[in-house]
Amino acid sequence: MNTPKYIRNAGKQWTPQEEKKLATLAKKNTPTRVIGLELGRPVGGVYNKASQLGIGLHPTNQSPYNRRKK
């Protein structure tokens, strides 16, 4: 049985390089799922680490509060 590629680092300690890459990808508005694939981490792990580091993962260009009403 093949396990998904993205969980190869699940449960392992984050390296400073991975944390830096997480911050860089988040700053570029990279989707969380893609960040998980890039880092080999599950999406939940990406959210958790971003929260610990104070990194926002919500897209900066998609605010639900500035939509025009018809």
- What is the tens place of the pLDDT at every residue in 9-42? 878 899 999 999 999 999 998 999 999 999 999 9
**Rounded to 5°, angle at Cα 45 from 39 and 51:** 110
pLDDT of residue 68: 56
In terms of phi and psi (left: phi > 0; alpha: psi -120 to 50; beta: otherwise), the region of 40 is left
Per DSSP (E only), the strands in 1-70 are: none
DSSP 31: -
43 within 8 A of 57, measured Cβ to Cβ = no
Question: How far apart are the C-alpha atoms of 37 and 10, rounded to whole Å?
Answer: 11
